[in-house]
Structure 1
């Protein structure tokens, strides 16, 4: 049975521009640019199932990353699957972390965590995942992240 055609279907080129602009904003470490890509009532679901609805809550969820609490982060897009009619994209990526080499005299929680990570996985490490992005009006209405990592991730109650 054929799917109904979206009212405002995006072209393949439109989706590529939106997806690549979104990834570029992350790689430039530009939180304002990342947030510009979201609708006001967007939904972001993290790799461990935590839900953040609305730009304010999504921004708060991203702030530690953009403050550098997990080191310098970059995303390399490996694959993109695009559904123009539904306005959806799936991006498989590798997330690379570079943890700082130096440490403060009295390290905070982020620095202590990074010291532990450096001891376990090294100064540079990567993990893989994918984002399923739903677009509406040229903005991200929903972002669902899934991951594949060597460290088991707990799934707490919501």
Structure 2
């Protein structure tokens, strides 16, 4: 029963991260983006006058996204197959994700931050921007390092072949 939901969540995370689950690239990009997201949320909450700690701040920004991801998976597994329309498969899960994140932010996160709902939405959006920036920057670095290591391996192989051709 939980298998399709877990597979849908894994597909969502993998499509967002752009790397296969379990690889070093995935963990690097996902970790840096998550760290930037949580750090920005903590700094913004402190900047706007709330005295909440890092644990409550982290929970406050992660809970709406986790609830949205769960709603995305449930929609993709249960609602999309029952609705026979072309736009449903691409639009409905993403729309439900955005709606649940917004509602959870307005209802739950403002209690964690001890602020009004709109300020919580602003903090969540700015934190997401920082997280996305961390994702793109770390993705560029990971791709650069992968290309560099492949180039070095190719150069080493060419040198080895050249040395072997000179000294058989």
Relative to the length of structure 1, the TM-score reads 0.26
Which of the pair has the greater relative contact order for Cα pairs under 8 Å at 6+ separation? 2
Q: Which protein is richer in helix relative to its size?
A: 2
Larger radius of gyration between Structure 1 and Structure 2: 2
Relative to the length of structure 2, the TM-score reads 0.25
